[in-house]
Structure 1
């Protein structure tokens, strides 16, 4: 389907009439009418009712609107991600889970800016299922996450070994706080007699739970690299003899060609990770 027809359809809705749409699109009213007729013929239904006051959508037009909006957005994203900006030779598309963008994704992007300035970079921050889907569909070249999927043409490697340790606010050790770190950690919780699964306070986002501990008090399991600065400053303390849980970080990437920008970028990420920079909220 011609994207010009979709954009004309959306402009008629935005402008409220065929005449105003033609002015905004810098074409004749006849051209707008012809485009809408072509679109209606392709769909096999009428999209607009034309009145003296303008154009209103038919019920079929109302149902088509979300699809038209999605098609237009997808086309714009495709153009932005496929084309290479002036001064660059190619584009890399990378992503990370929400809880891993700082510092991993930000430092990786900074490394790319310094070491591969000729490469444009698209960064995506999302949850693991969305990242896995985007990688499988070819929309991303590499992702950093806790729960990888295995796709044809992709490789999975453990980027670092993270662990969850139980810490508390030294001034107020209660309440117990439960953080949902995903099903893999949940299985480890289930095997532990110390699992606080029936806590009055639960979170599905670690940084929010940590901020709660720091400002209100309590205890819970958190990523060791994130809480280490707070342990060093005395704002948090470890609970002696508490269980620890593994929470590794994985790198999943499309198999690169030897010497390619992607291969060099992956090497850069490994170097950035090895630097063991403190993690923060």
Structure 2
């Protein structure tokens, strides 16, 4: 059922009304077009009336949609003002989300330190995919996000907080060419993955691919092979991993937050995580 917690549905309606295009609204809201369509459908079911007239190359508001628009805009504005007013209070809790690899590289080590440093702060942490992370950040449902790639948005600050060098590891001492025959591909992000494939063209034929460090390590532990890892991750495997050579590629971990965040105390947390 639609309720006050689903103000994002009205915001979706406002964006579709503004752009007159489901695809553009989806892009601006960091949603899929099907998600936008589903939200509009639920609104129409809730109000028991059509809100848009869908034509081949454009859409326009129905008379009911025209009547709803000013109410939706006023409600969205009022709740936004309420949120900003509440955020002026001293920060008491924080929601942190990170992609699986950002979690492995950075968050799992830093979260205990955050709670030690800010003892009165309640922290909720979630592992999340990139698409959901960007959307929830814009919807202000998470405060801080972490990933291996910057977010391209005028509303979001993306700062590099960790740079990790990479090396090629194998389950046994052997030549690089032989090791790459059983390569386990970890997705380090578009640019890094492209750089790795340029350095080692043979990795394009990898039979096992994953976006998770933990999945790759589990597969390695059972089946052997080779993979490219930061040294700090490989060190946990001790002598079962053989470092074959340094890879001239670095991966970066980014912290993301909305540029207009105004929770008092938030900046101190951001500065702490950024090492400032």
Q: Is the shorter-chain TM-score for this pair beyond 0.5, marking a shared fold?
A: yes
Give me the TM-score of the superposition, normalised by structure 1.
Answer: 0.58
- Give the 5 Å matches for 1:149-228: 149-170=151-172, 175-228=182-235
1:106/1:260 CA distance change after superposition, 3 Å: farther
1:154 touches 1:252 (CA, 8 Å); kept in 2?
yes
Q: Which residue of structure 2 lines up, in the alignment, with residue 115 of structure 1?
A: 117
Distance 1:266 1:121 in 2: 14
Q: Is the 8 Å Cα contact of residues 97 and 133 (structure 2) preserved in structure 1? A: yes
Partner residue of 2:16?
none
CA contact (8 A) 1:171 1:217 kept: no
Q: TM-score, normalised by structure 2?
A: 0.59
Q: C-alpha root-mean-square deviation of aligned residues, in Å?
A: 3.6
**Structure 1: segments with no counterpart, 5+ residues:** 7-39, 46-81, 275-281
Deviation of 1:270 (Å): 3.2
TM superposition shift of 1:146? 0.5
How far 1:171 sits from its partner (Å)?
Answer: 7.2
Distance 1:43 1:203, change over 3 A: same
Shift in Å, 1:137: 2.3
Partner of 2:100: 98
| Residue 144 (structure 1) aligns with | 146
Output the CA distance in 2 between the equivalents of 1:222 and 1:41: 51
The answer for the alignment partner of 2:129 in structure 1 is: 127
Q: Distance in 2 between matches of 1:179 and 1:237?
A: 18
* CA distance 1:177–1:260, change in 2 (3 Å): same
Bigger fraction of residues in helix: 2
Q: Which residue of structure 1 aligns with residue 54 of structure 2?
A: none
Compared CA separation, residues 256 and 229, structure 1 to 2 (3 A): farther
Instruction: Identify if the C-alpha distance between structure 1 residues 41 and 127 changes in structure 2 by more than 3 Å, giving closer, same or farther.
Output: closer
Alignment of 1:10-29 (within 5 A): none
Deviations 1:22-61 (A, max 9, x none): xxxxxxxxxxxxxxxxxx994269xxxxxxxxxxxxxxxx
Matched position secondary structure for 1:124: strand
Higher relative contact order (CA 8 A, sep 6+): 2
CA deviation digits over 1:103-140, x for unaligned, max 9? 63344432333332333323221112221222222222
Moved over 4 A (4+): 171-174, 256-259
Identify unmatched segments of 5+ residues in structure 2: 7-44, 51-82
Distance of 1:2 and 1:133 partners within structure 2: 19
Number of residue equivalences: 197
Give the corresponding residue for 2:239. Answer: 234
CA 1:217–1:145: 2 relative to 1, 3 Å: same
Q: Which structure has the bigger radius of gyration? A: 1
Q: Secondary structure at the match of 1:197?
A: helix
